[in-house]
């Protein structure tokens, strides 16, 4: 749905191979963006037991802060400052909101973040309006990186991919090679034991929440110019994000990674395909008139693309209720 | 969890309590009958109808959230499908000439919600807690998106329209005038409310509470929490479908907005703001949220933001909702120590109202800033120009000053409350 914003221009009169190459690139890109968000969400969920409903809202805040700061101080400083701002907001939410709500249980925490998501969307649309913003790709990156067959692949998308991969590698190093990473990893599986070992759990939570929000903000800053920057972007991405982490298995980082890529690729390919049952097996008898069957028969894969993640969710729940790599019950 | 949902069985009740119990219900029914006679304008009739539908919907949601502990982000799916089922049924009744009068149509809506709950519920209720919440969100999105694809069933973006007056008549009522529709809704409101209250008193309702509080122990005594959650989910779907059917009758249309995330969010807001721990909580919440929704849209363009703020405030400071706040005072009233808290309340009102005004002024100033002087903020008859620095300073003083003074008075309330609660505890009214 999101990655296909440029589809009509790109996929006009293209060969199958070209479609595969471009869709794979776009799919991996969308998947890496999803992972920037789902990794933070997963770590926060595993450590604190709270599913942050407002995570996609932090992504949206990143995009809007990025837009505003780009106007004031330019894109490159904004790339650094906007995620820091979002991270600070995330820390404040943890410190003054979630920490006080914790005593009322996880449902109250989830509802708090739900209310926040709602309020953030309203505040954003109050300040910036409800229509899409003119958030442009920086001039430095506004050129085609390479040409596949007849399609120019924009350099900015390569830049997005590079940033996402760099963050992914950095996360991997921090988690696997540093002491902080050790604590976070331990907290993923044994949160109580970590507290017993004498770490300042409150501060660890706050920092993890802040870093997770900052990553979401960064995703927003770099995704803003390529996708649409609009006040409903959180509401449209949020549910997909939750599908990703349920699909991958709640609390599993490798699961979140695989699920991000799978959903990114599946959705991008679905958007690019125009086939329908009618084109595969021939049209239905028109004398039957309109019916639900005719609707299903004639709908194209591209039109179904928005519901594909949710179909995957239902299938995985029937086949493997704890998700791809999940081990823990909720 | 609380007195209303887990109080002792009826057998031990003294006669006076029984009388009071039925008195409350009777008063409610009489109010429903008398209300439209007192406020008979078309606008208020429509408002009452909307509130009635919202109450049924919120009570059905509380079967999940309050009774069984299932947090659903997709409850509107059953509401919407109930609405579509009712619309299709009404059109079918008219075109086939079936002898089914309008008052039975909400039942069809309920069946629509029930059938979908029976199909999807088994997979959904496998797990509770956060996973259930996420799945319900996903299913909600799935159905809402599918409704735009299956045009022949859901009518695409325009939806399905119907004509309630074309159905066979009953007692000579055409159900054209809003008053008759109101009484139809009130009738189903009473039936559904009684049924849902009775449900909380059945063994199923009791075991649902147990599943909410401790599913493991429920397994020890030989019940399967999954099955209990499934039954609760089906009942919730059924009553949500009734609400949807009533909405379809009231608006004579069903469209994809019925199924959407906004509708699901509103019912969650209404139920939680009202209070999930008491049966009457969602009723209060539905009345308040619908009233605010109708009232605020005329006054401000950012009414949804106020909803969000009220909701966050309730979650953070009073997770029991309005009902929880009210019922907190019951032991103090019984012990006769409430009078010692009231002065602190009166003192706290002034700075708290100032703080609220400051927040409202800030929000409205930001929202109306682009319009400048043409769109002043009208607060208690005082017009504030959103462009002038004086307004910003006033807002800042109210927010910051109000907050610090209000916090002092809140602490005073807490102290007074502690003293009053100690008295109540000594007299045996508070454990």
Q: How many CA atoms lie within 13 A of A217 on its CB side?
A: 27
- CA distance between the termini of chain A: 29
B137 touching chain A per CB within 8 A: yes
In chain B, whose CA is at the least distance from the CA of A306? B145
- Among A317-321, B94-98, B383-387, which stretch is predicted with the lowest mean pLDDT? B383-387
What pLDDT digit, counting tens, does each position of B241-279 carry? 999 999 999 988 888 888 888 889 889 999 999 988 899
- Look-up of token digits 């400052």: A81
> What are residue B160's phi and psi, to 5 degrees?
-110, 130
In chain B, whose CA is at the least distance from the CA of A235? B261
> What are residue B147's phi and psi, to 5 degrees?
-65, -25
Q: Do A246 and B131 touch (CB under 8 A)?
A: yes
Of B142, B150, B305, the CB nearest to A123: B305
Higher pLDDT, B381 or A107: A107
Q: Is the pLDDT of residue A201 over 70?
A: yes
Of A104, A119, A239, the CB nearest to B312: A119
What pLDDT, on the 0 to 100 scale, is given for residue A216? Answer: 92
In chain B, whose CA is at the least distance from the CA of A293? B150
What pLDDT, on the 0 to 100 scale, is given for residue A43? Answer: 82
In chain B, whose CA is at the least distance from the CA of A304? B149
Residue range B61-68: mean pLDDT, rounded: 92
Give the ipTM: 0.85
What pLDDT digit, counting tens, does each position of A61-93 carry? 999 999 999 889 888 898 999 999 999 999 999
Q: Do A317 and B311 touch (CB under 8 A)?
A: no
Q: How far is A73 from A82, CA to CA, in rounded Å?
A: 11
What pLDDT, on the 0 to 100 scale, is given for residue B14? Answer: 65
What pLDDT, on the 0 to 100 scale, is given for residue A290? Answer: 64
User: What percent of chain B clears pLDDT 90, i.e. is strictly above it?
Assistant: 31
Q: Which chain B residues are closer than 8 Å to A115 by Cβ?
A: 308, 311-312, 315
What pLDDT, on the 0 to 100 scale, is given for residue A9? Answer: 46
Q: Which chain B residues are closer than 8 Å to A330 by Cβ?
A: 127-131
What pLDDT, on the 0 to 100 scale, is given for residue B12? Answer: 53
- Asked whether A2 and A227 are in contact (CB, 8 A), the reply is yes
A296 touching chain B per CB within 8 A: yes
Q: How far is B234 from B208, CA to CA, in rounded Å?
A: 13
In chain A, whose CA is at the least distance from the CA of B140? A310
| Beta carbons within 10 angstroms of residue A165's beta carbon | 14
Q: Is the pLDDT of residue A274 over 80?
A: no
What pLDDT digit, counting tens, does each position of B271-309 carry? 999 988 899 999 999 999 998 888 888 777 788 888 889
- Among A67-71, A318-322, B142-146, which stretch is predicted with the lowest mean pLDDT? A318-322
What pLDDT digit, counting tens, does each position of A279-290 carry? 777 776 666 666
pLDDT-derived band at A10 (thresholds 50, 70, 90) equals very low
Residue range A258-283: mean pLDDT, rounded: 82
Q: Do A290 and B367 touch (CB under 8 A)?
A: no
pLDDT-derived band at A14 (thresholds 50, 70, 90) equals low
Q: How far is B167 from B30, CA to CA, in rounded Å?
A: 28
Maximum pairwise Cα distance, chain B: 70
A250 touching chain B per CB within 8 A: yes
Which 3-state string (H, E, C) describes A174-228? HHHHCHHHHHHHHHHHCHHHHHHCCCCHHHHHHHHHHHHHHHHHHHHHHHHHHCC
What pLDDT digit, counting tens, does each position of B28-55 carry? 888 888 888 888 787 888 889 999 999 9
Q: Do A311 and B308 touch (CB under 8 A)?
A: no
What pLDDT, on the 0 to 100 scale, is given for residue A3? Answer: 45
What pLDDT, on the 0 to 100 scale, is given for residue A285? Answer: 66
What pLDDT digit, counting tens, does each position of A15-46 carry? 778 788 888 888 998 998 899 899 888 888 87
Residues of B (319-358) whose Cβ lies below 8 Å from A: 319
Burial class of residue B64 in the structure, from the number of CB atoms within 10 Å of its CB (0-12 exposed, 13-18 middle, 19+ buried): buried
pLDDT-derived band at A224 (thresholds 50, 70, 90) equals confident
Q: Is B177 helix (H, G, I), strand (E, B) or coil?
A: coil
What pLDDT, on the 0 to 100 scale, is given for residue A49? Answer: 78
- Look-up of token digits 């039109």: A303
Q: Is the pLDDT of residue B11 over 60?
A: no
Q: How far is A228 from A5, CA to CA, in rounded Å?
A: 8
> What are residue B416's phi and psi, to 5 degrees?
-60, -40
pLDDT-derived band at A208 (thresholds 50, 70, 90) equals confident
Q: Do A310 and B135 touch (CB under 8 A)?
A: no
Task: Give the DSSP letter of residue A148.
Answer: E
In chain B, whose CA is at the least distance from the CA of A111? B315
Higher pLDDT, A210 or B427: A210
What does the mean pLDDT of chain B come to?
A: 85
Of A126, A290, A318, the CB nearest to B123: A318
Q: Is the pLDDT of residue A8 over 60?
A: no
Of A239, A290, A295, the CB nearest to B141: A239
The enclosing H or E element of B111 equals helix B105-124
B262 touching chain A per CB within 8 A: no
What pLDDT digit, counting tens, does each position of A140-175 carry? 777 777 777 777 788 888 888 888 888 888 888 888
CA B271 vs. chain centroid, Å, equals 4
What does the mean pLDDT of chain A come to?
A: 82
What pLDDT, on the 0 to 100 scale, is given for residue B150? Answer: 81
pLDDT-derived band at B108 (thresholds 50, 70, 90) equals very high
Q: Is the pLDDT of residue B171 over 80?
A: no
Q: How far is A68 from A224, CA to CA, in rounded Å?
A: 11
Q: How far is A265 from A272, CA to CA, in rounded Å?
A: 11
Q: How far is B261 from A235, CA to CA, in rounded Å?
A: 9
Q: Any idea what the Cα angle at residue A292 is, between residues A289 and A297, rounded to 5°?
A: 85
What pLDDT digit, counting tens, does each position of B339-377 carry? 888 888 888 888 888 888 888 888 888 887 777 666 777
Q: Do B308 and A115 touch (CB under 8 A)?
A: yes
Helix extents (H) in chain A: 7-10, 16-48, 55-73, 75-92, 99-101, 106-128, 155-177, 179-189, 191-196, 201-226, 233-248, 253-272, 277-281, 292-298, 301-304, 308-319
| Beta carbons within 10 angstroms of residue B356's beta carbon | 15
Chain B interface disruption, residue of A44, A97, A114, most B CBs within 10 A: A114
Q: Do A310 and B311 touch (CB under 8 A)?
A: no
Q: Do A107 and B308 touch (CB under 8 A)?
A: no
Q: Do A310 and B128 touch (CB under 8 A)?
A: no
- pTM of the complete model: 0.87
Q: How far is A34 from A237, CA to CA, in rounded Å?
A: 9
């Amino acid at each position: 749905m999101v990655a296909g914003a440029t589809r009509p221009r790109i996929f006009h009169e293209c060969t199958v191979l070209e479609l595969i190459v471009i869709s794979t690139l776009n799919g991996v890109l969308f998947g890496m963006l999803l992972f920037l968000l789902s990794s933070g969400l997963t770590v926060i969920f595993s450590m604190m037991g709270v599913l942050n409903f407002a995570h996609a809202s932090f992504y949206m805040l990143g995009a809007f802060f990025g837009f505003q700061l780009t106007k004031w101080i330019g894109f490159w400083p904004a790339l650094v400052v906007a995620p820091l701002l979002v991270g600070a907001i995330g820390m404040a939410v943890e410190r003054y909101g979630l920490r006080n709500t914790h005593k009322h249980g996880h449902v109250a925490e989830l509802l708090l973040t739900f209310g926040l998501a709602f309020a953030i969307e309203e505040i954003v649309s109050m300040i910036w309006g409800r229509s899409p913003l003119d958030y442009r790709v920086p001039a430095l990156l506004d050129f085609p990186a390479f040409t596949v067959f007849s399609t120019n692949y924009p350099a900015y998308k390569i830049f997005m991919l590079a940033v996402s991969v760099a963050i992914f590698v950095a996360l991997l190093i921090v988690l696997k090679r540093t002491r902080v990473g050790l604590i976070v990893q331990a907290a993923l599986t044994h949160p109580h034991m970590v507290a017993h070992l004498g770490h300042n759990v409150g501060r660890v939570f706050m920092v993890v929440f802040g870093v997770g929000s900052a990553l979401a903000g960064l995703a927003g800053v770099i995704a803003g110019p390529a996708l649409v920057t609009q006040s409903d972007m959180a509401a449209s991405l949020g549910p997909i994000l939750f599908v990703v982490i349920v699909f991958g298995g709640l609390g599993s980082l490798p699961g979140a990674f695989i699920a991000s890529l799978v959903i990114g690729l599946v959705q991008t390919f679905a958007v690019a395909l125009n086939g329908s049952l009618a084109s595969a097996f021939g049209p239905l008898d028109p004398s039957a008139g309109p019916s639900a069957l005719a609707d299903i028969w004639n709908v194209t894969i591209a039109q179904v693309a928005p519901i594909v993640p949710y179909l995957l969710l239902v299938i995985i729940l029937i086949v493997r209720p704890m998700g791809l790599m999940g081990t823990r019950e909720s | 969890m609380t007195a209303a949902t887990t109080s002792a069985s009826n057998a031990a009740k003294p006669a006076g309590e029984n009388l009071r119990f039925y008195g409350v219900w009777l008063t409610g029914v009489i109010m429903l009958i008398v209300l439209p006679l007192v406020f008979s304008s078309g606008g208020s009739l429509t408002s009452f109808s909307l509130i009635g539908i919202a109450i049924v919907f919120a009570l059905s949601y509380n079967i999940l959230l309050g009774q069984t502990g299932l947090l659903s982000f997709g409850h509107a799916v059953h509401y919407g499908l109930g609405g579509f089922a009712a619309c299709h049924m009404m059109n079918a009744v008219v075109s086939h000439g079936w002898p089914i009068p309008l008052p039975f149509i909400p039942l069809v809506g309920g069946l629509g919600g029930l059938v979908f709950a029976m199909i999807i519920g088994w997979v959904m209720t496998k797990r509770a807690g956060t996973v259930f919440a996420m799945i319900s969100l996903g299913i909600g999105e799935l159905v809402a998106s599918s409704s735009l694809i299956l045009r022949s069933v859901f009518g695409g973006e325009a939806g399905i329209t119907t004509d309630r007056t074309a159905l066979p008549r009953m007692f000579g009522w055409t159900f054209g005038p809003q008053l008759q529709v109101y009484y139809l809704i009130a009738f189903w409101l009473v039936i559904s409310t009684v049924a849902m209250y009775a449900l909380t008193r059945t063994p199923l309702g009791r075991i649902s509470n147990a599943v909410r509080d401790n599913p493991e122990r429920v397994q020890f005594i030989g019940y399967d929490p999954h099955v209990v959650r499934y039954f609760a989910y089906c009942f919730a779907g059924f009553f949500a479908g009734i609400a949807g059917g009533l909405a379809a009758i009231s608006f004579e249309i069903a469209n994809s907005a019925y199924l959407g995330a906004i509708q699901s969010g509103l019912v969650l807001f209404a139920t939680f703001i009202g209070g999930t721990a008491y049966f009457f909580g969602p009723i209060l919440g539905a009345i308040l949220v619908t009233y605010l929704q109708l009232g605020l849209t005329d006054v401000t363009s950012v009414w949804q933001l106020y909803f969000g703020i009220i909701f966050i405030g309730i979650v953070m400071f009073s997770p029991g909702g309005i009902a929880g706040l009210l019922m907190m005072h019951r032991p103090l009233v019984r012990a006769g120590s409430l009078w010692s808290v009231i002065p602190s309340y009166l003192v706290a009102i002034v700075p708290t109202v100032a703080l609220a005004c400051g927040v409202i002024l800030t929000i409205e100033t930001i929202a109306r800033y682009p319009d400048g002087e043409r769109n002043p903020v009208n607060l208690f008859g005082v017009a504030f120009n959103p462009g002038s620095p004086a307004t910003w300073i006033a807002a800042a003083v109210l927010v910051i000053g109000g907050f610090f003074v209000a916090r002092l008075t809140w602490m005073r309330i807490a102290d007074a409350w502690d003293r009053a609660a100690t008295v109540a505890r000594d007299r045996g009214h508070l454990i």
